[in-house]
Amino acid sequence: MTGFVSFFKRKILRIDRDRWNYQYDKGLWNGLRALDELARFSVIVGYVKFLKPGQPEVLEIGCGEGLLQQRLQSPNYGRYIGVDISDSAIARAQADGDEKCTYLVADMDVYQPAGAFDFIIFNESIYYSRHPLRTMRRLAEYLKPEGLMLVTINHHKHSDQLWEAIRPGFALVDETTTTTSKGICTCKVLSPLLVQE
């Protein structure tokens, strides 16, 4: 894509996919691979292995370049679906994936998964939903009966508000907060509440 077309789509039309592709292609998210990001990945890996040992089926929403799947490692999942709006990120994730992984380009607010999952994970991605509670509730319908959501949110001035916004749909099972030189991040294990008709 020419520089002007890319600029127009990102800055004028504000097309999310083009903005994320541009940022991944420029390496602006390479920092997610660094040591000071390890803690939040490790907490999720720990929860997955402890709560559903064996071969859980995992759906990750906003998976980026597939870093969580790489840290979780193939023996610890039976199926891994990663979804992201950026086809640049998904191409890189796919290149490092294995035969149990499927990576898809989709917008979390409309994506319809196939099958049911033991975990649905939003690792630093729920911020980008246009309506977080609605999206999480809709996707929770694709959890298996004892399935769980894992959500991380970095502490920032709107984080309490975001946790509060999704609270009505889910019961808290557990939570862990980690502090690194980069910041503070909370990971919550959530169980969907039955919606009253």
Ligand X SMILES: C[S@@+](CC[C@H](N)C(=O)[O-])C[C@H]1O[C@@H](n2cnc3c(N)ncnc32)[C@H](O)[C@@H]1O
Provide the binding-site residues for ligand X, judged by CB under 6 A. 16, 20, 32, 62-64, 67, 83-86, 89, 107-109, 123-125, 128
The least distance separating ligand X from the CB of residue 32, rounded to whole angstroms, comes to 4
State how far the Cα of 85 lies from the Cα of 79, in Å rounded to an integer.
20
The least distance separating ligand X from the CB of residue 194, rounded to whole angstroms, comes to 26
Among residues 63 and 143, whose Cβ is nearest to ligand X?
A: 63
Among residues 89 and 143, whose Cβ is nearest to ligand X?
A: 89
* Residue 169 DSSP symbol: G
C-beta of residue 79 within 8 angstroms of C-beta of residue 33:
no
Which residue has 């319908």 as its token pair? 141
The least distance separating ligand X from the CB of residue 109, rounded to whole angstroms, comes to 6
Taking the alpha carbons of 70, 71, 76, 80 in that order, is the dihedral positive or negative?
A: negative
Among residues 62 and 97, whose Cβ is nearest to ligand X?
A: 62
The least distance separating ligand X from the CB of residue 110, rounded to whole angstroms, comes to 9
Structure tokens at 170: 């889910």
Among residues 48 and 89, whose Cβ is nearest to ligand X?
A: 89
> What Å distances lie between residue 33 and 70, 157, 171, 188, CA to CA?
11, 24, 31, 21
